[in-house]
Chains A and B, each alone.
Chain A
Amino acid sequence: MSENERILVVDDEPQLTRVLRTALKSHGYEVRTAADGLSAFETFNDWKPGLVITDLAMPTMDGLELCRRLRASSEVPIIVLSAKGEEKTKIAALDLGADDFVTKPFGMDELLARVRASLRRASKQSATETPPKILEAGDFRIDMETRLVTVRDQEVHLTPKEFDLLTYFMSHAGKVLTHRTLLAAIWGGNYVDQNEYLRVFVGNLRKKLEADPANPQYILTEPWIGYRFNP
C-alpha cells in the first residue's frame, strides 16, 4: 500500500462518496470528493491526486468528458464506476484513456484491488520514462533488442505482430484494453473495427503462451470490451 496516496472520488451520489471516502481513508489513502466533472477537474488541477475514481453519469460534466480533459494533460490512472446497461459509455471511457472499471454494485475489496493495481502500474510507468531494454512481469521476460521472449523460463517464438501485441500487453499489464485501443496500437487507426484480426492473434498468442489455451490465465477476455493482461 502506498502511504498517503491521493485519490479523487467523483460521483453525484453523496452517500457513495461518503462510503468511498471512509473506506479508502481507512486503507491509508488521502481522499477528496467531487459531485460533478467540472469541480472534479478543478480539484484535480489544484490537488494533483495520484488516482481518479469517477462515475459516468453526472450533471454539469459527465465522466466521459472528465476522462477526455484529464487525458489531455495527465497520465493519472482513472477507474470508472459503471452500471450494467452503460456498456457503450464504459467502452467510450476506456477508449478515451480510462484504465479500469468496476461495475456497480461492487465490493470494496474489488475496488481496492483495482486501485492498488492502477497505482502500481502508474508508479512503474513514471519510474521508467525511457523505453526499457528488458520487459519483465510475472512469468514473462522480453528482451526488446534480441526480441527473445521467455514464459516460465521457456523460450517462445512469435511472429512480428504477435511480438508487438505481447509487448503492448506487457507494458499495459493489468489494464483493461478495449478492442479499439489494441487495434489502433498494433495495426493502426484504419483497423479499429477489425475485431477478427485481434481475435485471431490473441488466439495464436494464447496457444503459444498459455498452459491451457481454452482456459487462459494470462490474456483474459473482458466480455464485449476487450482484454486484460495478467502476467
Chain B
Amino acid sequence: MRTILFRHRAAGYVIAVLGIAVVAATLKALGHHINTTTVALGLLLTVLFVATRWGSAAGLFASALAMLCFNYFFLPPFGTLFIASPDNWIALAAFLITAVTAGQLSASAKRRAEEAEAGRLEIERLYAELRDAFERASHAEALKQSEKLKSALLDAVTHDLRTPLTSIKASITTLLEAARATNDQEQITLDPESKVEMMEIIDEECDRLNHFIDSLLELARIEAGELQLRRRWGNVDEIVSSALVRAGVITRNHQLELAIEKELPVLRVDARAVSEVVYTLIENAAKYSPLGSAILISAKREGDGVIEMSVENEGEPVPIHLRERVFDKFFRATRDADIKSSNSSGSGMGLAIAKGIVEAHSGRIWIEGRNGGGTRVVFVLPIGDEDGERTVNDDEERPVGA
C-alpha cells in the first residue's frame, strides 16, 4: 500500500518536471509570437493539472519549477535567473503567488471530493451491513415462528391422537375389570348393554383414529402437491347423494333440504374427492348448528362453464375475521374461536382438505354470512374439458345430458 502511494507521489513530481519542460519548450519554440502573459497562463495550467492530479506537495513543486522556468527562459535577460526590470519582478511574484494559491486550492478541492467519496462509500458499506443484519434477524425470527408453528401443530396432533385413546383406554379397563371380577367381589355391575356400549365406543374411536391418520396423509399429499385426481365425467346429483348417504348418521337430527338446479351440465372432476368436500361441509353444518335446524344443500350453474355448490346452516355465523382462518389446517372453531358445537370438535383438517381438493380442481371455496343468521360455505368448480388432467383409466366418453 505504501509503495503504491510513494509511486503515485513520485509520478506527480516526474510529471511536473516533464510537463513544465514540454510547455516551456513549446512556448520557447514559438519565440517572439508569445507574450509573457500567455507564457504565465500556459505554465499556470500545468501547475493546476499537477496539483489537481497529485496533490498539494507536487503542486508546490510544480509552482516553484514553473517560476524558475518563467524567470530563466521568458523574463529578460534570458538564460539567467537575474531580472532587470522591476515590472518583471512584479510579474514573477504575481505568477508565483497565483500558481501556489491556485495549485493549493485545486489540490484541496480534490481532497475534499475524495473525502466525500470515501464518506459515501462508508455510508454504503454501513447500509449494506445493516441490511444484512436485518435480513439475518428476520430469518431468525422466521425460523422461530416456524418452530412455534411446528410445536402448535404437534400439540394439535397429539391432542387428536390422545382423545380417542383416552376413551378406548377407559372402556377397555372397565371391560377388563368386569371380566376379572369374581362373584364375591361385586364391585362392578356391568350389564350386557353397557358392555356393548363400551365396545361400540372402542370401535368408533378406532375408526376415528384411522380417519384422523387418513386425513393427515391426505393433507400431507395436498401440501406436497401430490394429490392424484381421478377425473371423470360425473353429475352433481351423484356427488351430493353419495355425500348424503355418508352423512346419514350425523344429520339424523337435522332437516335436510336440497336445491339442485335441473339439467346441470356434467362435471369433469374426481367425483370421490368432490363428494368428500360436500360431506365435510354437511358434517360441519350439522356440527355447528342447533339440533332440529335446517341444512340447505344447493347447486346451480354460475356463469359460463362453472358450477356453484353450497351448504348452509342456521347455526352461529362464523365471524368475518375467521372466515379465512377456518381453512387453516388444525384450526378448530370450538377451541380456537369459542364457537359452540353440538358434537365433538373435529380434527381441524376437514376444511383444509376441502380447500385443497377444490383448488386442485382450479376452483375456489369461501365462507359467507347468511341472511337471517347462519353460515353458508360455497365452492365453485369449472366444468372441465377433455384437456383436463387425465389418469390411466381415463378412457370414458362424455355422456349426453346430466
Known A22-B194, A22-B197, A59-B340; contact A13-B167, beta-carbon cutoff 8 A: yes
Name B166's contact: one of A27, A28, A106, A109 (CB within 8 Å): A106
Residues of A within 8 A of B178 (CB): 26
B174 contacts A108, C-beta separation under 8 Å: yes
Residues of A within 8 A of B194 (CB): 22, 25-26
Docked CA distance A26–B159 (Å)? 28
| Shortest distance from the beta carbon of A5 to any chain B beta carbon, whole Å | 14
Residues of chain A from 20 to 39 with CB closer than 8 A to chain B in the complex: 20, 22-23, 25-28
Residues of chain B from 199 to 238 with CB closer than 8 A to chain A in the complex: 201, 204-205, 208
Known A14-B344, A20-B170; contact A104-B162, beta-carbon cutoff 8 A: yes
| Shortest distance from the beta carbon of A34 to any chain B beta carbon, whole Å | 13
Docked CA distance A19–B165 (Å)? 12
Name B335's contact: one of A26, A57, A108 (CB within 8 Å): A57
B174 contacts A26, C-beta separation under 8 Å: yes
B173 contacts A109, C-beta separation under 8 Å: yes
Residues of A within 8 A of B173 (CB): 107-109
Contact with B along A92-133 (1 / 0, CB 8 A): 000000000000111111010000000000000000000000
Residues of B within 8 A of A28 (CB): 189
Chain A interfacial residues counted at CB < 8 A:
29
Docked CA distance A85–B191 (Å)? 36
Q: Is A215 an interface residue (CB 8 A)?
A: no
Query: How extensive is the interface on chain B, given as a class?
Result: 35 or more
Contact with B along A22-63 (1 / 0, CB 8 A): 110111100000000000000000000000000001011000
A19 contacts B201, C-beta separation under 8 Å: yes
Q: Is B88 an interface residue (CB 8 A)?
A: no
Q: Is A184 an interface residue (CB 8 A)?
A: no
B170 contacts A19, C-beta separation under 8 Å: yes
Q: Is B36 an interface residue (CB 8 A)?
A: no
Residues of A within 8 A of B191 (CB): 26
Name B338's contact: one of A13, A19, A59, A85 (CB within 8 Å): A59
Contact with B along A1-21 (1 / 0, CB 8 A): 100000000001111101110
Residues of A within 8 A of B344 (CB): 12-15
| Shortest distance from the beta carbon of A112 to any chain B beta carbon, whole Å | 9
B205 contacts A15, C-beta separation under 8 Å: yes
Residues of B within 8 A of A83 (CB): 158-159, 162
Residues of A within 8 A of B155 (CB): 85
Docked CA distance A20–B178 (Å)? 15
| Shortest distance from the beta carbon of B209 to any chain A beta carbon, whole Å | 12
Residues of chain B from 140 to 198 with CB closer than 8 A to chain A in the complex: 155, 158-159, 162-171, 173-174, 177-178, 187-191, 194, 197-198
| Contact sample, A vs B, 17 pairs, CB 8 Å cutoff | A12-B334, A13-B163, A13-B167, A18-B201, A19-B171, A22-B190, A26-B174, A26-B178, A27-B189, A28-B189, A59-B341, A83-B162, A84-B158, A85-B155, A104-B163, A105-B165, A106-B169
